[in-house]
Amino acid sequence: MSIIADDNDFKQPREAKNPVTKAETTEFDKNFENCIRPKSFDTYIGQSALKEALQITIEASKKRELPLDHLLFYGPPGLGKTTLAGVIAEQMGAEIKITSAPALERPRDIIGILMSLKGGEILFIDEIHRLNKVAEEILYPAMEDFVLDMTTGKSQTVKTLRIPLPKFTLIGATTKAGALSGPLRDRFGIIHRLEFYTEDELAQVIKRTAGILNIEIDTKGAHAIARRSRGTPRIANRLVKRVSDYALVKHDGKITETIANQALDILKIDELGLDNTDRNLLKLIIEKYNGGPVGIETIATAIGEDTRTIEDVCEPYLLQAGLLQRTPRGRKVSPSAYGHLGYKKYSDQQTLF
């Protein structure tokens, strides 16, 4: 393995990227996901502490005959935030309107949706950290006092009109809780973080999905896929489909441990679920920056990704897996990443520079 690499060595041609392991949603996912999305707490696997807390909140609000407090869910993509909003609506017996911040660009978008709400309804806003200032200002009194404050006229003739809204529950989801403005965050009564899933939980997700899609899989096969799913149900579900294609074409269709491992090797997804982009990111820091720290912009330019994808999609799992560390001066690779990528020894590498 060469130790000194040119920046271009780390860039990949677009087509060589492996979107299977990137937890962001695509159009294809939306249709596929809608048929496998759990609709109740019973079928929503894992997140047990969160589930228990939510079930109590829901029961209490039903007893009081009041809508739920506004809820904010945060965590990396694919962990079940949108799914959970649907489960809550189901449990409350409430209607849910689903939108996302980029669709609420103009004031009339958010006003329109707020005015269309019925009492007890749930409004789900995805990527809520991307709401613009004007939309946020409209949302504050709506969340707090269930009113819309509208201004009409110009300068001296300005009039404020207060329009009452039915009591509703806002559920916000974000991959970046830190990017949410303070005043908006403060208006959520309940804030929860979604955690990465364990291997056992992901194996359950995989078995459930396989059942719905009529895919035959044994327990070891489910665990083999679970281990390489980056703690993320969305990725686990995608991998089941890809592995099932392989099993069907190359074997008799049934997924076993051996077949799962073969298929995942072909997809270049390693034992920790890392793909080429992740490995290139770590290798870059090791080979060109002596393990770091190095700034995120430098990394992004060198591997040909944008900083948002790195921060929101690649990094959370690399941090969780203990392969990468965030420091005030930039990103650092941890000793275990050296071993995982086949570098001889952390200390050997250090003395090379």
Ligand X SMILES: Nc1ncnc2c1ncn2[C@@H]1O[C@H](COP(=O)(O)OP(=O)(O)O)[C@@H](O)[C@H]1O
CA–CA separation, 195 and 148 (whole Å): 35
Judged by CB under 6 A, does residue 45 bind ligand X?
A: yes
The binder of Mg ion chosen from 21, 47, 82, 237 (CB under 5 A) = 82
| Residue nearest to ligand X according to CB distances in the complex | 80
Judged by beta carbon distances under 5 to 8 A according to partner kind, the member of ligand X, Mg ion, none in contact with residue 33 is ligand X
Q: Outline where DSSP puts E strands in the chain.
A: 71-74, 96-100, 122-126, 147-152, 159-164, 169-174, 190-193, 324-327, 330-333
CA–CA separation, 80 and 75 (whole Å): 9
CA–CA separation, 18 and 268 (whole Å): 8
Judged by beta carbon distances under 5 to 8 A according to partner kind, the member of ligand X, Mg ion, none in contact with residue 233 is ligand X
Judged by CB under 6 A, does residue 237 bind ligand X?
A: yes
Q: Is 308 an active-site residue?
A: no
Q: Output Rg (C-alpha) for the chain, integer angstroms.
A: 23
Judged by CB under 5 A, does residue 175 bind Mg ion?
A: no
Question: Could you tell me the smallest distance in angstroms from the CB atom of residue 234 to Mg ion?
Answer: 9
CA–CA separation, 21 and 39 (whole Å): 24
Query: Among the candidate windows 30-38, 251-259, 311-319, 332-340, which touches ligand X by CB under 6 A?
Result: 30-38
Judged by CB under 5 A, does residue 174 bind Mg ion?
A: no
Find the catalytic residue in 22, 230, 234, 238: 234
CA–CA separation, 130 and 140 (whole Å): 15
Find the catalytic residue in 169, 175, 232, 277: 175
Taking phi first (over 0 means left), then psi (-120 to 50 degrees means alpha), and beta for anything else, what does residue 47 get? left
Find the catalytic residue in 22, 126, 174, 288: 126
Q: Whole-angstrom distance between the N-terminal and C-terminal Cα of the chain?
A: 16
Q: How far is CA 94 from CA 58, 167, 202, in A?
A: 12, 12, 29
The binder of ligand X chosen from 10, 21, 22, 46 (CB under 6 A) = 46
The binder of ligand X chosen from 205, 210, 240, 255 (CB under 6 A) = 205
Q: Is 351 an active-site residue?
A: no
Judged by CB under 6 A, does residue 174 bind ligand X?
A: no
Judged by CB under 6 A, does residue 78 bind ligand X?
A: yes
Q: Is 126 an active-site residue?
A: yes
| Residue matched to tokens 């939309």 | 135
Residues forming contacts to ligand X in the complex (CB under 6 A) are 33, 36-38, 44-47, 77-83, 173, 205, 233-234, 237
Q: Give the catalytic positions in this structure.
A: 81-82, 126, 175, 234
Residues forming contacts to Mg ion in the complex (CB under 5 A) are 82
